[in-house]
Structure 1
Amino acid sequence: MEPLRGNESFHKYFILNSFNELGALRPVLFFPFFIMFVLSLLANSLLLYVIISQRSLHSPMYILIAGMACVDLSLPLFFVPNMLLNFLFDWRGISLIGCLVQMYFIHFFGAFQSTLLVWMALDRYFAICTPLYYHEHMALPRFLKFVIPLLIRNVFMVSLVVSLAGLLPFCLRNVIDHCFCEHMALVELACGSTIVNSLVGLISVFLIPVADFIIIAVSYIIIFSSVLRSGKSRVKALHTCVTHIVVNTVSLSIILIAFLSYRIRNGLPAAIRVFISIMYLFFPSCFNPIIYGMRTAEIRQHIVKMLSWYNFVQTGPNSLQNY
């Protein structure tokens, strides 16, 4: 039985309610998101397998790409299966504890995704601007100086945001206008003051994705300046860095739109707001294997070689007849 305060009933169970505008067509959403989910799992698993199995790829840059693949493999598991069941079987219920746990891991892995991009930018900075000292800078004891502070920041901010959300009394509604437990989608249901939650949420956005973007941008500005001054080959630097900058700019823009849409009442339809929230979490998991895997020549060569070997095993006897 739910606890009571006066005549108020405090909700401990919530309904995830999204894309109702589609009516009977809502289950159709299962198919595109299921295809994206499967492709994301396969692509990130393949990328992770190639990096782990090839000793030549056991260098800092590829280890960071493997770390990104791990995050991209893990993050969708915390919300996509539940979302797919919601679309297909109309399973919408979630407890408050389950909601907070889901929220924590979604935001933690989302923050970790952003932080990994910072480490990649630092890797490129050391590789291009100080190549003679690259291995010294990227040695584990020294690189941990860049790793640990950012991890502490992420854990602290995400824990603070989720803990504050869990302390709120929910006595107004128990219908979350979302397909997973997004922070502000839950907070806006509270019957108490949510000013602190909104403020801390905004601070976390500016301390994590915005701060990370600034560090990444500054790193690449220094890289471009170094390349132009030294007369090194610009093509490699541009190939390495421009894609990262574009991806970061697009990702940050989507994140800011998603977060600010709950705080600035601009008439943005709920379905679009939910779709944007899904995309800023889900799209990177689908496209990072292409951006950081297939566009990296060494990884691409190993993947092509592995697929060619698999094809040879499957058609070996027939292919030998051609010789």
Structure 2
Amino acid sequence: MERSSFDDFFFTETAVITITTINLTLPSYFLLSGLPRLEHLHVWISLPVSFMYLVALLSTFCVLFVIKTEPSLHQPMYLFLSMLLVTDLVQSNSTIPKMLLIFWFNHREISFEGCVVQIFFIHAFSIMNSSVLLAMAFDRYVAVCHPLRHVTILTTPVITKIGILGAMRGILLMLPEVLLLKRLPFCQNHIIKQTYCEHMAVAKISCGDFRINSYYGLFSAFSFVGVDCIFIAASYTLIVMAVLRLPNREDRQKVGNTCVTHICVILVSYISELFSFLSHRFGGHMAETTQMILSNIYLVLPQMFNPIIYGINTKEIQKNVMKIFHFRKSLNL
């Protein structure tokens, strides 16, 4: 009887230890905090976020529809723009709806699997976004510096391969980050101080050593943002030199307007991402609310401004958008 009691106690304790270990390693859910100390303003904060999200959706679908339906826009620059807008669309749809649920209904719970999927989509498509910006810079370089070879260099199969390589780059760089996150043990603290799941925000609440996660995050950031910025800067240095050599002032102005549009998109994308990246890793002395607002701007502003910037500064897109509205107006009449 004593032996049986000891066996029962031993197996019970083993089961408890096993269950505890599983719970520490794989939490079933996390709680997203929203914006601390601003909970009473969540509904009001949701108003500009909802407006920007709606503008982003409408403008993105409008530009994508115009590019798809207008054969004259089936050119490398507009095909790359379509890729950029799709990556923006996926990023915003993977985070903003959940953010709005927190603001409206205080729906803060998110499953562990859902959190990991959100992290993957945010960062993988951020890498794809950077790859597309680099491809767009290369397209502008070829168009300005080698205009006669532009059509032969950037053919549709080449553009397709560039898109596939950008997607593979994002997936391959993000898979280790997800695996490193899943190896971390989590204790009692399941509250993520954010409105969405971000890699370092989740890693910091673990009760294990997350230094490898931080190091890999820095490596992956340099692997796409750092490298891409270097090549983009090199491309535009060559473009500026080529533009200055153009004899005709109108040609210089036309090329300059096209390049300025792309540079504006690059600045909006990279600056907002840089603020988010630095706030998560080096924002220890920054006010918590300020840190969260900066990291959320990265998910809202580029998605709203990118289609607007191209829609306003690109005459071809403007003309075709006006055609659509004019056609609908004539139907109503």
TM-score (norm 1): 0.90
| Matched residue, 2:131 | 115
| Matched residue, 2:109 | 93
RMSD of aligned alpha carbons = 2.2
Deviates more, 1:87-96 or 1:61-70: 61-70
- C-alpha distance in structure 2 between counterparts of 1:7 and 1:149, whole Å: 38
Q: Is residue 60 of structure 1 aligned with residue 76 of structure 2?
A: yes
Q: Is residue 285 of structure 1 aligned with residue 303 of structure 2?
A: yes
Structure 2: any 5+ residue segments left out of the alignment? 1-15
> What letter matches 1:220 in structure 2?
Y
| Matched residue, 2:5 | none
Choose the corresponding residue for 1:128, options 122, 136, 144: 144
CA contact (8 A) 2:261 2:313 kept: no
| Matched residue, 1:200 | 216
Choose the corresponding residue for 1:139, options 130, 152, 155: 155
CA contact (8 A) 1:45 1:73 kept: no
**Matched residue pairs, number?**
315
Deviates more, 1:241-250 or 1:124-133: 241-250
The correspondence of residues 257-268 of structure 1 with structure 2, limited to 5 A, is: 257-268=275-286
The structure with more helix, counted as a fraction of residues: 2
SS of the aligned residue for 2:30 comes to strand
SS of the aligned residue for 2:323 comes to helix
Question: Residues 218 and 269 from structure 1, CA distance in 2 versus in 1: closer, same or farther, beyond 3 angstroms?
Answer: same
Question: Residues 147 and 85 from structure 1, CA distance in 2 versus in 1: closer, same or farther, beyond 3 angstroms?
Answer: closer
TM-score (norm 2): 0.88
Q: Is residue 14 of structure 1 aligned with residue 30 of structure 2?
A: yes
Choose the corresponding residue for 1:73, options 65, 77, 89: 89
CA contact (8 A) 1:18 1:179 kept: yes
- C-alpha distance in structure 2 between counterparts of 1:183 and 1:274, whole Å: 14
Provide, for residues 169-222 of structure 1, a one-character-per-residue CA deviation record: whole Å limited to 9, x for no partner.
111510000010011110101111111100000111111122222211111111
> What letter matches 1:23 in structure 2?
E
CA contact (8 A) 1:217 1:245 kept: no
Provide, for residues 17-45 of structure 1, a one-character-per-residue CA deviation record: whole Å limited to 9, x for no partner.
02121132222222211111111111111
| Matched residue, 1:157 | 173
Choose the corresponding residue for 1:189, options 193, 199, 205: 205
CA contact (8 A) 2:142 2:149 kept: yes
| Matched residue, 1:214 | 230
Q: Cα offset for 1:144?
A: 5.5
- C-alpha distance in structure 2 between counterparts of 1:307 and 1:87, whole Å: 34
- C-alpha distance in structure 2 between counterparts of 1:209 and 1:116, whole Å: 12
- C-alpha distance in structure 2 between counterparts of 1:141 and 1:8, whole Å: 48
CA contact (8 A) 1:187 1:197 kept: yes
CA contact (8 A) 1:172 1:190 kept: no
Q: Is residue 169 of structure 1 aligned with residue 185 of structure 2?
A: yes
CA contact (8 A) 1:172 1:189 kept: no
Structure 1: any 5+ residue segments left out of the alignment? 317-323
| Matched residue, 2:119 | 103
SS of the aligned residue for 2:282 comes to coil
